Amino acid sequence: MKLLLFDIDGTILLTDGAGTRAANRAFEKIHGLRDAMKGIDAAGKTDPLILSEMYGNGLSRDYTDGEARELYREYVLFLEEEVENCRIEIMPGIPYLLESLSSRTDVMLGIATGNIERGARIKLRKSGLDSHFSVGGFGSDSGSREALIRVAIERAKIRLRDSEDFEKIYVIGDTPHDIVHGRAAGAVTVAVATGRYSLTELLEHRPDYLFEHLADYENVIRIFD
């Protein structure tokens, strides 16, 4: 059995800034400050890390647990609305790749994303691709990408039969964070340049596989044989 853990933003889909707008609206509602996401590079970062940067930028301090709970509560409400109204873009080849992988009995599909779980589910539901994934690790599990990948792996292992183990685990993502933390968690790393990072930038972090996009999904799928 192989486990494939997909990142969401820039790998499966793009929501045309819906997450940023929702985070800005939540922060403004609670703290009265506009554009708290300004200057923050969210690509590949977990929601807790992004939240830290918002508090650092806007209020020159970190957040408390209570503030995080309140902010996430507002954020998912705004995100529902923003995602509903956004032009969601599914990355090339992704529907075919997931369809094809889902039909295989030697593959388990999961999510490894910095989004908090409720945010991830909102985005995936809108894409119509959520049914392909049986497990996940999320930003609500840890602010560390390596740790949330490990959580996804542990959850996936629980679904295996006794004495079975994964022969290989793959992390598929669009940023250096996916490569570096995927490797640290013991995964084979698959980078795809459909997000903010170019092939050259991703190559510097030496992923095991590198693709410009996954449109040629019949070729891509061979690396999971």
Q: Name the residue nearer to Mg ion (CB basis): 16 or 28.
A: 16
Rounded CA separation 54/24 (Å)? 9
Contact between residue 119 and residue 13 where contact means Cβ atoms under 8 Å apart: no
- What's the one-letter identity of residue 62? D
Q: Name the residue nearer to Mg ion (CB basis): 7 or 47.
A: 7
Cα atoms in the 13 Å half-sphere on the side-chain side of 83: 22
Residue 121 burial (CB count, 10 A):
17
Interaction of residue 7 with Mg ion, rule CB under 5 A: yes
DSSP summary character for residue 8: -
* Dihedrals phi, psi of 174, to nearest 5 degrees: -110, 5
Provide the minimum distance between the beta carbon of 9 and Mg ion in the complex, in angstroms, as a whole number. 4
- Interface stretch with Mg ion, choices 6-14, 65-73, 84-92, 93-101 (CB under 5 A): 6-14
Provide the minimum distance between the beta carbon of 44 and Mg ion in the complex, in angstroms, as a whole number. 5
Q: Name the residue nearer to Mg ion (CB basis): 7 or 82.
A: 7
Interaction of residue 47 with Mg ion, rule CB under 5 A: no
Contact between residue 176 and residue 74 where contact means Cβ atoms under 8 Å apart: no
Nearest residue to Mg ion, by Cβ distance, number only: 10
Q: Name the residue nearer to Mg ion (CB basis): 9 or 47.
A: 9
Interaction of residue 9 with Mg ion, rule CB under 5 A: yes
Q: Residue count at the site for Mg ion (CB under 5 A)?
A: 4
Footprint of Mg ion on residues 165-194 (CB under 5 A)? Answer: 174
Provide the minimum distance between the beta carbon of 123 and Mg ion in the complex, in angstroms, as a whole number. 11
**Distance, first Cα to last Cα, the chain:** 10
Contact between residue 111 and residue 152 where contact means Cβ atoms under 8 Å apart: yes
Q: Name the residue nearer to Mg ion (CB basis): 58 or 114.
A: 114
Which residues contribute to the site for Mg ion (CB under 5 A)? 7, 9-10, 174
